[in-house]
Structure 1
Amino acid sequence: MPSAAKIDLSSLPEDQRDLVAELLREHANLLAANTALKAEATDLKQIVKRLEHLVAELNHVVHGKKSEKLSEDDRQLAFEDLETAVAELETQHDDRASANEALRRKVVPAQRNRGNLPADLPRTEQIVEPNSLECPWGCGQMHRIGEDRTERLDIVPAQLRVIATIRPKYACRTCTDGVTQASAPASLIEGGLPTEGAIAHVLISKYADHLPLYRQSQILARSGVNIHRSTLADWVGVAGFHLRPVVDRLAEHLKSSGKLFMDETTAPVLDPGRGRTKTGYLWALARDDRGWGGDDPPGVVFFYAPDRGGQNAERVLRGFDGTLQLDGYTGYNRLTRPTRKGGGPIRVAHCWAHARRKLKEVFDRDGSEIAAEGLRRIAEFYAVETDIRGIDPGQRLSARTVRTAPLVAAFGEWLQEQRLRVSAKSRLGEKLAYIHRHWDGLQTFLHDGRVEIDSNSVENLIRPIALNRKNALFAGHDEGGKAWGRIASLIETAKINGVEPFAYLKATLEAIANGHPNSEIDDLLPWNFKSTS
Structure 2
Amino acid sequence: MLEKQNAELQAKLKKQQELEAKLKWYEEQLRLLQHKRFGVSSEKIHPGQLELFNEVENEANLDLPEPTVESITYQRRRKKRGHREAMLENLPVETVEYRLSDEEQVCSCCGGTLHEMSTEVRQELVYIPAELKVVKHVQYVYACRHCERHEIETPIQTASKPKPVISGSLASPSVLAHIMTQKYVEGLPLYRQEKQFQRMGVPLSRQTFANWMIMGAERWLSALYHRMHELLLERDILHADETTLQVLREPERSATSMSYLWLYRTGIEGPPIILYDYQETRAGEHPRMFLNGFKGYLQVDGYAGYHKVPDVTLVGCWAHARREFTNALKSMPAGVKSVTATEGLHFCNQLFAVERKLKHLKPQERYEERLRQSKPILDTFLSWLKKQEQQVLPKSALGKAIAYCLNQWDKLVAFLEDGRLQIDNNRSERSIKPVVIGRKNWLFANTPQGARASAIIYSVVETAIANRLHPYYYLRYLFEQLPNMDLSDSRALDQVLPWSKTLPVSCIAFHQLTK
If the TM-score is normalised by the length of the shorter chain, which range does it land in? Answer: 0.7 to 0.9
Q: How far off its partner does 1:238 sit?
A: 1.2
Higher RCO by CA contacts (8 Å cutoff, separation 6 or greater): 2
**Cα pair 1:247 1:486 within 8 Å, conserved:** yes
The aligned residue for residue 267 of structure 2 is 288
More displaced stretch, 216-225 vs 164-173: 164-173
More displaced stretch, 270-279 vs 429-438: 270-279
Task: Tell me the number of residue pairs that the alignment of Structure 1 and Structure 2 aligns.
Answer: 422
Give the TM-score taking structure 1 as reference length: 0.74
Provide the rounded CA distance (Å) in 2 between the counterparts of 1:167 and 1:71. 61
Q: How far off its partner does 1:477 sit?
A: 1.0
Q: How far off its partner does 1:277 sit?
A: 3.4
The aligned residue for residue 23 of structure 2 is none
Q: How far off its partner does 1:252 sit?
A: 1.4
Q: How far off its partner does 1:334 sit?
A: 2.2
Question: Gaps spanning 5+ residues in structure 2: where?
Answer: 1-35, 45-75, 149-153, 507-515
Provide the rounded CA distance (Å) in 2 between the counterparts of 1:275 and 1:158. 40
Q: Against the structure 1 CA distance between its residues 270 and 116, is the aligned structure 2 distance closer, same or farther, given a 3 Å change threshold?
A: farther
Q: How does 1:190-201 map to 2 (within 5 A)?
A: 190-201=167-178
Q: How far off its partner does 1:232 sit?
A: 0.8
Match of 1:160 among 132, 136, 141: 132
Q: Against the structure 1 CA distance between its residues 426 and 174, is the aligned structure 2 distance closer, same or farther, given a 3 Å change threshold?
A: closer
The aligned residue for residue 383 of structure 1 is 353
Question: Gaps spanning 5+ residues in structure 1: where?
Answer: 1-63, 73-107
Structure 1 residue 407 corresponds to structure 2 residue 377: yes
Q: How does 1:276-355 map to 2 (within 5 A)?
A: 276-289=255-268, 294=269, 296-335=270-309, 340=310, 344=311, 346-355=312-321
The aligned residue for residue 372 of structure 1 is 342
The aligned residue for residue 106 of structure 2 is 135
Residue by residue over 1:411-447, the C-alpha shift from the partner in whole angstroms, topping out at 9 and shown as x without a partner, is: 0000001001112233322221111111111110112
Provide the rounded CA distance (Å) in 2 between the counterparts of 1:121 and 1:314. 47
The aligned residue for residue 418 of structure 1 is 388
Residue by residue over 1:204-254, the C-alpha shift from the partner in whole angstroms, topping out at 9 and shown as x without a partner, is: 111011111111111111111111111111111111012111111111111
Structure 1 residue 531 corresponds to structure 2 residue 504: yes
Provide the rounded CA distance (Å) in 2 between the counterparts of 1:65 and 1:486. 33
Residue by residue over 1:153-187, the C-alpha shift from the partner in whole angstroms, topping out at 9 and shown as x without a partner, is: 11112122222223355566666456654134311
Question: What SS is found at the alignment partner of 1:271?
Answer: coil
| AA aligned opposite 1:463 | K
Provide the rounded CA distance (Å) in 2 between the counterparts of 1:144 and 1:170. 61
Q: Against the structure 1 CA distance between its residues 109 and 122, is the aligned structure 2 distance closer, same or farther, given a 3 Å change threshold?
A: farther
Provide the rounded CA distance (Å) in 2 between the counterparts of 1:244 and 1:298. 18
Bigger CA radius of gyration: 1
Provide the rounded CA distance (Å) in 2 between the counterparts of 1:270 and 1:425. 36
The aligned residue for residue 358 of structure 1 is 324
Q: How far off its partner does 1:390 sit?
A: 3.1
Provide the rounded CA distance (Å) in 2 between the counterparts of 1:311 and 1:261. 17
Give the TM-score taking structure 2 as reference length: 0.76
Structure 1 residue 221 corresponds to structure 2 residue 198: yes
Provide the rounded CA distance (Å) in 2 between the counterparts of 1:236 and 1:181. 31
**Cα pair 1:117 1:153 within 8 Å, conserved:** no
The aligned residue for residue 91 of structure 1 is none
| AA aligned opposite 1:364 | K
Q: Against the structure 1 CA distance between its residues 226 and 71, is the aligned structure 2 distance closer, same or farther, given a 3 Å change threshold?
A: farther
Q: How does 1:7-26 map to 2 (within 5 A)?
A: none
The aligned residue for residue 499 of structure 1 is 469
Provide the rounded CA distance (Å) in 2 between the counterparts of 1:175 and 1:134. 73
**Cα pair 2:222 2:456 within 8 Å, conserved:** yes
The aligned residue for residue 512 of structure 2 is none
Provide the rounded CA distance (Å) in 1 between the counterparts of 2:86 and 2:178. 24
Q: Against the structure 1 CA distance between its residues 333 and 404, is the aligned structure 2 distance closer, same or farther, given a 3 Å change threshold?
A: same
Q: Against the structure 1 CA distance between its residues 380 and 143, is the aligned structure 2 distance closer, same or farther, given a 3 Å change threshold?
A: same
Higher percent of residues as helix? 1
Provide the rounded CA distance (Å) in 1 between the counterparts of 2:90 and 2:395. 63
Match of 1:253 among 227, 231, 236: 231
Match of 1:69 among 41, 51, 70: 41
| AA aligned opposite 2:213 | V
The aligned residue for residue 216 of structure 2 is 239
Q: Kindly, what percent of the aligned residue pairs are identical?
A: 33
